[in-house]
Structure 1
Amino acid sequence: MDRTGVRGRLREPRLTGGPAEPAGIGLSQAHGRLAQARSGASADVHRRLRGRSADHGRRRDRAVRRRRPSHARPVGCWAAKVAVDQASGRDRLNIHGAIDLETGATFMRDELTINAATLIAPRAMIESYYPAKRVIHVFPDNAGHHHAKVVMAWLARPTCRIRLHYRPPYCPHLNPIERLWGLMHKHMTHKRCYSTFREFCTALLSFLRGDVPRNWRSLCDSVSDNFRVIDPDQFRVLT
């Protein structure tokens, strides 16, 4: 197609479904009308978007206003008194304990910390409680302070009458003192509250030092060392 044919094609009216453009319209006028149509269409699109954004904002504000009352707290709710006052801080009661399984006598010392240095005092207390005993057998757990050098040096004295017998590791169920701690929690801490830490310490130490020896005949079955030794040769293991 030559240039004359192209120029004629450009001057032909467009088939848009609307009124036809005059045949003599120029390219510059066509571009101007097209730009005007595009600017008008974009303005209409912007108006629609602004309207939708405004509607969305109004719906969001209504939703927020509806949700606010569900999160509101009643006035003065922080001033309500609780049923049980809470103690501040973290206080701790450390006890070195031993018990005589025949008489129920207990040897309890509360210490600021549990270490090898504070372990010697309860051992000396046990030794002084039985002056007529030639040998006193003590069954401790496998805590590290029981194997400390300072404790071993104290036990190595020629006049020391205490002999240690260590239980198997990771076997607290074989240690009667663990059963005594469980008995203490059952009687003194389960479903009970104490207003002060001093009252808590006084109640626990009074139970361990006074109630246990006094009521040993009724409590001894709960703190028993009556274990049955099982011989593996007498059983057949099924695999």
Structure 2
Amino acid sequence: MLSSIQRAGLCRELGQTRYTDYRATAAWLAVTYEVHYSVSGLTDLLPRVGYSYKLTAAVPCLADAAKQTAFLTDTLAPLLAQAEAGEAVVYFADAAHPTHNTRATHVWTETGKERPLLTVSGRERVNLNAALNAHCPTQVHRDETDCVNAQSTQRRYEKLLAAHPEGPIRVICNNARYYKNKALNAWLDKKRLVQVFLPTYSPNLNLMERLWKFLRQKIINTAFYRTKGQFKTAVLDFFDRLPEFGKELASRMSLKFHVLDSQSNS
């Protein structure tokens, strides 16, 4: 058994060092405190001291917490308030390129047995340029294209303008080069639609990133598609099925954002 001081030391070590398995943790305890734990013993101990085994969270190494906080307070909050009051509509935009390449994932499996999933090693992609309504996450306008560029972005914006024939439209987007294309911005000068750029390295502030993750969980990571055609059909049908996922989307697409700070995650 560990004393309270030893437990505190273990927690500090787990917080400072990334241990990928129980054996390495057991080795540290043996060297540091001369206390020997089995794998099953650590399986019981670590949850009791507040630790669970989970994936690390990817943080862009140049994420700036101060810039993200300023954007949320000074730019995004007023825009969302206008949208809630019916004075404008706010969309989050992003592109994705789902690849026809089966990935293994975690599913409930009977103990002692394996749960096989057929795989393909394709490299063909479905290129999507999409925008999600901040206050109605089942309302997504997409452009499926051979190449995500300024032209596909303009087609997506034309769909937003058609869906909202009156009032200002604000589109929250990242700093991809096609958003700053001269021809696209010349076209936008005459429109009610304005692009609002996120701070660099801030995917956590874009609701579309959450939708792409939801797409992977629902469609890509849990099924096998023998042909690219089957894969593409399933991906595109996902957008038609969004009302079916209404409750899940409402909880996942809440307008609460976690600020990332690369300086505190080194």
State the TM-score, normalized to the length of structure 2: 0.50
Displacement of 1:85 after TM fit?
6.9
Alignment of 1:125-204 (within 5 A): 125-132=159-166, 134-157=167-190, 160-204=191-235
Q: Does 1:91 align with 2:121?
A: no
Match of residue 139, structure 2, among 95, 105, 112: 105
Displacement of 1:118 after TM fit?
1.8
Counterpart contact for 1:138–1:163, Cα < 8 Å:
yes
Distance 2:122 2:257 in 1: 41
Q: Does 1:120 align with 2:132?
A: no
Distance 2:122 2:198 in 1: 36
1:49 counterpart residue number: none
Distance 2:249 2:125 in 1: 26
Displacement of 1:105 after TM fit?
0.5
Change over 3 Å in CA distance of 1:85–1:186 after alignment to 2: closer
2:8 counterpart residue number: none
Counterpart contact for 1:106–1:213, Cα < 8 Å:
no
Please state whether the residue corresponding to 1:96 is helix, strand or coil.
strand
Q: Which runs of 5+ in 2 are unaligned?
A: 1-115
Displacement of 1:223 after TM fit?
2.1
* Higher relative helix content: 1
Change over 3 Å in CA distance of 1:118–1:228 after alignment to 2: closer
Rg larger for:
1
* RMSD across aligned positions (CA): 2.5
Letter of the 1:145 counterpart: Y
Which stretch shifts more, 100-109 or 135-144? 100-109
Counterpart contact for 1:101–1:220, Cα < 8 Å:
no
Change over 3 Å in CA distance of 1:228–1:200 after alignment to 2: closer
State the TM-score, normalized to the length of structure 1: 0.55
Percent identity, aligned pairs only?
27
Letter of the 2:196 counterpart: H
Displacement of 1:131 after TM fit?
1.2
Displacement of 1:97 after TM fit?
0.7
After superposing on structure 2, the runs of 4+ consecutive aligned residues of structure 1 that deviate more than 3 Å are: 83-89
Please state whether the residue corresponding to 1:202 is helix, strand or coil.
helix
Q: Which runs of 5+ in 1 are unaligned?
A: 1-82, 230-236
Name the count of aligned residue pairs. Answer: 145
Counterpart contact for 1:117–1:150, Cα < 8 Å:
no
Displacement of 1:152 after TM fit?
0.7
Distance 2:168 2:185 in 1: 17
Distance 1:215 1:179 in 2: 14
Distance 2:223 2:246 in 1: 23
Q: Does 1:205 align with 2:239?
A: no
Distance 1:168 1:88 in 2: 35
